[in-house]
Each structure stands twice: as C-alpha cells, then as structure tokens.
Amino acid sequence: MDTPLADIRIGQVTSHWAENNHLYVSYKSQQDSTNNLAKEEAFEENLLEESLCLYLTDHQTSGRGRGKNSWIDAQPGSCLLSSWSYLLGVKPQPTTSCLVGLAVYRACVSTWPFLEWNLKAPNDIYIGDKKVCGILLENVSQADEVRLIIGIGFNITSSPAEVETATSILESLPPGAPLLGQDYTAFLDRLLFELTDAVSHCEEQLTTSDQLSLLTALNHHPLLKEKYTGMEADGSLLINDRKISWTSL
C-alpha cells in the first residue's frame, strides 16, 4: 500500500518507545517468531532481573496463532509483532487469558474510542466484523519462576489482502482521521499499563467488573450467533443454562 506510512516500521518505532520507557527490548527486522525467542531466552542469566522483556520484529517467517493457526502479516513493518515476557513468582491461572484479552481491548478502546471494538473469545480483537489483532499466551517455568509470554500480532498500517476477514487500524479510521504517531504511542503506554495490571492478577478469579466488561466486549461481536447471558469468576461463559469453558473456544 502506497501511503505516507509505507516506510514506517512498526517494530522499530515500538522499539524506540520501549527504550524511552527503560524496558528491556530485543528488536530484529526479521525472525521466525517473537514467542519462540522469548521462550528461548526466558531464563537467561542476564535477564533474570528483568520483570518484563519485550521482543519485537517487523516480519515473522513462522508467526503462530492458537493451535495450528499461523499469523500472516501484510508487509514487513506494517504490524505490531511482539511478545511481552513477564517474570512471575506464581503460576498463571486460566483466568489470565480472559484478563489479557480484556487488557488489550481496553487499551484499544481508550485510544480509538470511535471505532467498533469487540472481542471474540478466546483472544481475538475485532473492529466491526473484521479481525485486527490476535493474542497467543504461553508460559515456561524453571524452579519457582515462571515466564508468562504474551504474543500480540496487531495490524497497524495494513492487513493481508488475501484475508478478507482482516483489517488494520489505518484501514478502519474514518476519512480525514490520520493515524497519528502520538496516538500510537498513547496506545503503547496504555497497553503496557493494562497488560501489567492484568498479569498482577493472574492467580485471581475474575472480579464482577471484569466479568461485566468481558461480557460487553464479547456481545458486541457482530458475528456472534448467540449472545452470552453470563460469566463466572473462573472465566466460564453462560448461554442460558449452558456453560462453556473459555479455554475450549
């Protein structure tokens, strides 16, 4: 896509933001998968003092989604391809997936509140009926320490032309509303805050506010066949008298 943002490399821009915020960051113009590298370096001696390590690239040759799904980026530098590796002293509970999805959703809504954000369980972020972001959670452990790795693939300036169900931030903005650098930086600031807060509650049950927020985000999804009627503290979703495990979706 020939736009004024065509030469922007989102990974590089995000790396500069991370350095300015004094975060440990590993940025490569290309690699197989940021999650793979995050797992390989999870317990490197020089990183054991880093509560958060951020891995970034502008192109993944083996980007992954949940299960056997793969992640396709439109063109190098157009997406936020990242892994946020948090060092924990506890084992994350299944509610962590709910909390992380809600964290990303909240960061999006706070930055671009005029877009039709919604959440498709378990962890896809949509604008209207098109996917803009996927989240992949993994963890690795060593003795009493755990690294929770949050992989986030987010279409920022473009989306794959061959994937009709995908979109990007730039493609979704109203006419005359540019994608401002200050907005992207504000998004990263809010994302860091929301993810860190979510991770701090990774061994807890969902609060009533979390449950209601998730229900609202999920029921805004236009492709949902049946509305969810309730949510329990362990992350289970209800459709009338049917209970659905979040992890089974």
Residue 246 placed within a domain: no
Which pLDDT tens digits describe the chain residue by residue (249 residues)? 445 556 789 999 999 999 999 999 999 999 999 999 999 999 999 999 999 999 999 999 876 555 555 656 667 789 999 999 999 989 999 999 999 999 999 999 999 999 999 999 999 999 999 999 999 999 999 988 999 999 999 999 999 888 899 999 999 999 999 999 999 999 999 999 999 999 999 999 999 999 999 999 999 999 999 999 999 999 999 999 999 999 888
Q: Which residue has the tokens 């996917």?
A: 131
How far from the centroid of its chain's Cα atoms is residue 237's Cα?
A: 21
CATH at residue 43: 3.30.930.10
pTM: 0.93
206, amino acid identity = L
Domain span at 179: 10-205
Q: In total, how many domains does the chain have?
A: 1
Does 129 reside within a domain?
yes
Give the contacts of 132 (CB within 8 A, at least 6 positions apart).
Answer: 125, 126, 154, 155, 159, 166, 167, 168, 169, 172
**134 in a domain, yes or no?**
yes
